[in-house]
Structure 1
Amino acid sequence: NSMKFTPELIFKEKNINKVKITTNDKNSVTKGVKIIKSLSKYDIGQSIVINNGYVLAIEGPEGTDETIKRSLYLSKKYKLKNKSILVKFPKAKQDLRVDLPTIGIDTVKNCIKANIKGNQNIILDKDKIINLTKKNNFFIISL
């Protein structure tokens, strides 16, 4: 699978840049993972955006970046003050040989633009992403 042939792209650190993670953040991540796991049997998306315990967006066929953009629209529409959390996690029976959850620099930029705080994921452009996350007090954690 892709993890075997490109181990340098796999995100192994618990916290990519040591940004402090709050209890509310942890609760949102836990909720996101539970929802993705429960929706797995329906083959629905790898990503979910949660704001202060409320689900803003669940990934559909449009992909992660469009899910993030939709969450930005809803955050603005409802004037949400808190930062959101993006949880990206493989579905229960996902074939990781060909479809490993992946984030790249555009995904992180979209998260920052959408006020998302930002898991078995591939990270493309890892050094650029680490620098960008440090500049924006943005966290990425591995579960």
Structure 2
Amino acid sequence: MSGKLAILACAGALPVAIARANPDAMIITLEGIPSELEGQSHRHRLEQIGTLFAAMKEAGVDRMVFAGSLVRPALDPSAFDAEMAALAPRLMAALQMGDDGLLRTVIEVFEEQGFSVVGAHQVLPSLTAEAGLHVGPDPDETTKADITRATEILQGIAPLDVGQGCVVAGGQCLGIETVQGTDALLQFVAGTPPQFRRDYRGVLVKAAKAGQDLRIDMPTIGPRTIESAAGAGLAGLVIEAEKVMILDRDTTLQAARDSGLFLLAADI
């Protein structure tokens, strides 16, 4: 018989959806990291990670899922327990390897304690879309060419651990997602002077980075992404099939229909 699932719940709708689908799960939130589930969780300080490990083991946890938007918290070294003090040099070294390197190290730390780290899409398979999902109008030939161009750009920068989204219009790259996220990218695109767009609407392509560990850092879109894409004047969005989560799926798909945008899931 399998043990208990723990949800390390950070900000956003994803932890809420996973908790709703797994009512017996242990919900964990961390001091300094906002979460909609804070009021119904076991709250811990990251500096006292040994206490967190002990609480999870006492609850019978054998699997855990990281969910939500995680902002790196400011840590107080004077509050480190023995476990965190021992881990600190390793985590500091991982910080120099970018987000992917840090997240891989975090997974290793928890798995060394006997906890199997699973992806949100494994706990809630309906989060992703299979290839062939098509909502809204068909992209025209120019937009199809933009999709190809944006995909090529993402594949080119994937080894650099930069971002998961790219906007192209009329063959021109209008922006690449960086640490600020997709909404910031789309706001930037919305402010692009008209002469650079030449009446082309453009497309957002969102895909996982090569080698990205999808258990802890899967790309996502949601209703706000559709709203921002519409505000940026795009024709639509393409997401990588089975590697991008659609939060609040029904609302997101309906928002695309209402906005006149297409939303496609494709193998990339």
Give the Cα separation in 2 of the matches to 1:75 and 1:104.
Answer: 26
> Aligned partner of 1:110: which letter?
S
Alignment TM-score, normalising by the size of structure 2: 0.50
Instruction: Say whether the 8 Å CA contact 2:168–2:202 is kept in structure 1.
Output: yes
Are the aligned partners of 2:143 and 2:169 in contact in 1 as well (CA < 8 Å)?
A: no
| Distance 1:81-1:56 versus aligned 2 partners, 3 A rule | same
Alpha carbons of 1:42 and 1:74: their partners in 2 closer, same or farther (altered >3 Å)?
Answer: same
Identity %: 27
CA distance, structure 1, for counterparts of residue 151 and residue 260 of structure 2? 22
- Point out where structure 2 has 5 or more consecutive residues left out of the alignment: 1-118
**Does residue 60 of the first structure (1) align with residue 183 of the second (2)?**
no
Which digits, 9 at most, give the CA deviation of each residue in 1:28-84, with x for residues without a partner? 111111111110111111001111110000111111100010011114574642212
Deviations 1:64-112 (A, max 9, x none): 1000100111145746422120011111011111111100111110000
Does structure 1 retain, via aligned residues, the 8 Å contact 2:130–2:265?
A: yes
Q: CA deviation at 1:13?
A: 5.1
- Which residue of structure 1 lines up, in the alignment, with residue 260 of structure 2? 137
| AA at the equivalent of 2:156 | S
1:128 is matched with which residue? 251
Structure 2 Cα separation of the partners of residues 8 and 44 of structure 1: 27
Deviates more, 1:72-81 or 1:112-121: 72-81
- Give 1:16 shift: 3.1
Aligned to 2:86: none
Unmatched 5+ residue regions in structure 1?
Answer: none
Task: State the shift of 1:18 in Å.
Answer: 4.5
Among candidates 79, 104, 115, match of residue 233 of structure 2:
115
AA of the residue aligned to 1:4: Q
User: Is the aligned partner of 1:85 residue 2:85?
Assistant: no
Question: In structure 2, what is the Cα distance between the partners aligned to 1:107 and 1:80?
Answer: 23
Question: How well do the aligned residues superpose, as a CA RMSD in angstroms?
Answer: 1.6
Q: Does the CA contact (< 8 Å) of 1:49 and 1:56 recur in 2?
A: yes
Question: In structure 2, what is the equivalent of residue 99 of structure 1?
Answer: 217
For 1:95 and 1:83, how far apart are their aligned partners in 2? 32
Shift of 1:9: 1.2
State the number of aligned residues. 143
